Amino acid sequence: MGIRLRVVKLFGNMVTVKMNRMLLRIEYDGTPFVGWQTQENGNSIQKELEVAAQKLIGEPTHIQGAGRTDSGVHAVGQAAHLDVPLNYSTHSVMMGLNSYLKGLPISVLSATKVGGKFNARFDAIERHYLYRILIRRAPPSLNAFRVWHLKNELDYEAMNIAAQYLVGKHDFTSFRASQCQALSPIRTMKTLKINKVDDEIHVIAIAKSFLHNQIRNITGTLVEIGKRKWMPEKLKDILQAKNRQAAGPSAPPHGLYLKDVIYPESSFIKEN
């Protein structure tokens, strides 16, 4: 069942209200924000969504995201859940939130009913990321702060060969940020591939979960191979070193996009 009960204060009295849990799909430009998660040092996507949700629902409402993107990182398919009164339709939630987000680079693309125990973070079975690298002499104008700009060509085929050493279950300590709070550095990389798309190189990474800065650290290392500073086989040695100092620099945040978050079909409640 998707119905939850919440005790709220209404006209001075505590009453029990029936709530639906909904999954939001969200797009945002991360440039002006400190990241997804609410923080004291600046404005966040989560905070702006919760402000919009409070205006829509009339009471403080927590919005739980599927992942914590860093400052400057973008999303075209972030996922998050929230609880809304039973009489709110998915369409009214999507349109209402967007009306209160007007003027901000955040858009709610859809709202879908899910089970009452659904959790956008813990129920995800895959997270899809894209990293965009623009290769050309001229700097980007329309894509400023949306790609990593490099002037010289990269050997993307060598990058792709190297990337395959990281596919599968490994200890990713060499690609883990020092401030990472994950209990274990073990992760399973389902897909890691490099594509050439016009004048861009795309790094595509798919896994159930990632360590803090894992994709950016991997991308920065792959670029060193693309510059022919290292051979592709170097990735195997870096992985086995289990030492962040063995890997390359971290790629800048503004080339990274959270593209999609995948959930079991059983999570969703079909509308009548």
Write out the catalytic residue numbers: 70
CB within 8 Å of 230: residues ≥ 6 apart: 224
Q: How many Å apart are CA 191 and CA 166, to the nearest integer?
A: 9
DSSP 93-105: HHHHHHHHTTTSS
Mark 136-174 as b/e (b = at least 16 C-beta within 10 Å): eeeeeeeeebbbbbeeeebbbebbbbbbebbbeebebbb
Instruction: Name the nearest CA neighbour of 221 among 197, 196, 203.
Output: 203
Across the chain, the runs of DSSP E, i.e. the strands, are 3-10, 13-28, 64-65, 74-85, 106-114, 126-135, 148-150, 168-171, 186-197, 200-207, 256-262
DSSP 183: S
Please, where are the H alpha helices in 119-251? 156-163, 214-226, 234-241
Residue 5 in contact with residue 17, Cβ under 8 Å? yes
CB within 8 Å of 8: residues ≥ 6 apart: 14, 15, 17, 59
Burial status of residue 38 (CB atoms within 10 A of its CB: 0-12, 13-18, 19 or more): middle
